[in-house]
């Protein structure tokens, strides 16, 4: 039986998480070390899904998959295939709930696979819309940053309602990613910030720092970029979305020679990133492991 397959990648937020929800700018990068593969094949019973979170009839999928479920129904409707019986299999190497955008990545891979199965063209606008709706179900108030970064497969400067600016870093630096191993809910983190009555100056500062980092990238100034990342981490901590585990990994990477480090994504667990010169990468990886990182990765900013 023929199987249609589509892939998507993860993403890393460099700057602007949380403030991006309030209309400030953010910078994010695609992360190709982890990916999602969605496979679709004809089935003789119902529409079913086989994933790490649930296997069975799509109509009985748990609320965690509500966004994806709606996306599949809407995709089939757009394709005039509401009555098509299919089996969707999702394979993922993207750790979920760690700030890698796994929910948006699943949506992208499934939407692409659906259209490819039907042999129909899926425009970027349609894909962005389908993924945006799924993310809304999942996170209530998503900025759209995750979906846009994953769809564009390029580093972007993002501001809600504006056209994304594609970025080329081309910097002789590495970005080390450390996973605390602690799952975190983006929805909870976004709610926590929303409840904070004193958030305004922090949101302003995060937006300012994001713009500063855009300048740092353009001026190829890694030292200043590191300092701006450190400041962003302090502000995110003040907003209440850092944790002891994140702080420990951030501090240990700085001790090992990083130019700057911060949490990445929603926080309350998940991942952190450290910017460094290439001769410090291994020391930072060792230090992160010693400090309890469950996994680490390296992104070469020359290739971004
Ligand atoms: O936790 P993640 O990687 O899905 O990142 C969410 C980023 C936020 O700014 C916190 C939320 C959003 O919708 O942009």
Hey, which bits of the chain come out as E strands?
Answer: 3-15, 26-42, 48-50, 55-57, 86-92, 155-158, 165-167, 173-179, 260-264, 271-277, 295-300
pLDDT 10s digits, 99-116: 899 999 999 999 999 999
Q: Which of 101, 105, 146, 182 to mutate to test the pocket of ligand 1 (most atoms within 8 A of CB)?
A: 146
**Residue among 94, 105, 143, 240 whose CB has most ligand 1 atoms within 8 A, to mutate:** 143
Q: 249-298 pLDDT, tens per residue?
A: 999 999 999 999 999 999 999 999 999 999 999 999 999 999 999 999 99
The span from the CA of 124 to the CA of 249, in Å, is 37
Q: Give dist(CA 163, CA 149) in Å, integer.
A: 12
Tens place of pLDDT for every residue, the chain, 304 residues? Answer: 689 999 999 999 999 999 999 999 999 999 998 899 999 999 988 999 999 989 999 999 999 899 999 999 999 999 999 999 999 999 999 988 898 999 999 999 999 999 999 999 999 999 999 999 999 998 878 999 999 999 999 999 999 999 999 999 999 999 999 999 999 999 999 999 999 999 999 999 999 999 999 999 999 999 999 999 999 999 999 999 999 999 999 999 999 999 999 999 999 999 999 999 999 999 999 999 999 999 999 999 999 8
- How much is the pLDDT for 96? 86
Take residue 284 and report the two structure tokens written for it. 């930072």
- Asked whether the beta carbons of 135 and 102 are under 8 A apart, the reply is no
pTM of the model: 0.95
**Coil/strand/helix, residue 206:** helix
Q: Which two tokens mark 287?
A: 């230090």
Burial class (CB in 10 A: 0-12, 13-18, 19+), 229: buried
> What is the pLDDT, as a whole number, of residue 8?
97
Nearest partner of 228 among 4, 25, 9, 68, judged by Cα: 25
| CB 135 near ligand 1, within 6 Å | no
Instruction: State residue 302's pLDDT score.
Output: 94
Q: Are 117 and 4 in contact (CB under 8 A)?
A: yes
* 146 counts as catalytic: yes
Looking at residue 45, its pLDDT comes to 85
Give the pLDDT of residue 1: 63
> Reduced to 3 states, what is the DSSP secondary structure of residue 196?
coil
The per-residue pLDDT for 139 is 81
């Amino acid at each position: 039986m023929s199987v249609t397959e589509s892939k998507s990648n993860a993403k890393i937020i460099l700057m602007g998480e949380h403030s991006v929800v309030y209309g400030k700018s953010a910078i994010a990068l695609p992360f190709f070390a982890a990916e999602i593969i969605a496979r679709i094949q004809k089935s003789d019973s119902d529409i079913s899904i086989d994933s790490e979170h649930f296997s069975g009839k799509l109509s009985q999928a748990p609320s965690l998959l509500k966004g994806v479920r709606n996306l599949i129904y809407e995709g089939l409707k757009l394709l005039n295939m509401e009555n098509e019986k299919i089996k969707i299999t999702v394979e993922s190497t993207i750790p979920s709930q760690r700030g890698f955008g796994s929910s948006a990545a699943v949506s992208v891979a499934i939407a692409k696979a659906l259209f490819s199965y039907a042999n129909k063209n899926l425009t970027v606008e349609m894909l962005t819309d389908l993924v945006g709706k799924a993310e809304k179900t999942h996170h209530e108030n998503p900025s759209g940053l995750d979906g846009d970064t994953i769809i564009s497969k390029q580093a972007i400067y993002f501001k809600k309602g504006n056209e994304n600016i594609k970025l080329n870093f081309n910097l002789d630096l590495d970005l080390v990613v450390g996973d605390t191993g602690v799952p975190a809910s983006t929805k909870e983190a976004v709610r926590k910030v929303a409840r904070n009555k004193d958030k305004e100056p922090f949101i302003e500062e995060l937006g300012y720092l994001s713009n500063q980092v855009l300048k740092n990238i353009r001026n190829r100034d890694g030292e200043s970029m590191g300092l701006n990342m450190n400041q962003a981490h302090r502000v995110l901590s003040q907003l209440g979305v850092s944790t002891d585990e994140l702080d420990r990994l951030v501090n240990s990477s700085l001790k090992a020679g990083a130019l700057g480090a911060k949490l990445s994504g929603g926080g309350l667990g998940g991942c952190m990133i450290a910017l460094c010169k290439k001769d410090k990468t291994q020391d930072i990886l060792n230090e992160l492991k010693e400090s309890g990182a469950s996994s680490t990765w390296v992104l070469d900013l020359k290739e971004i």
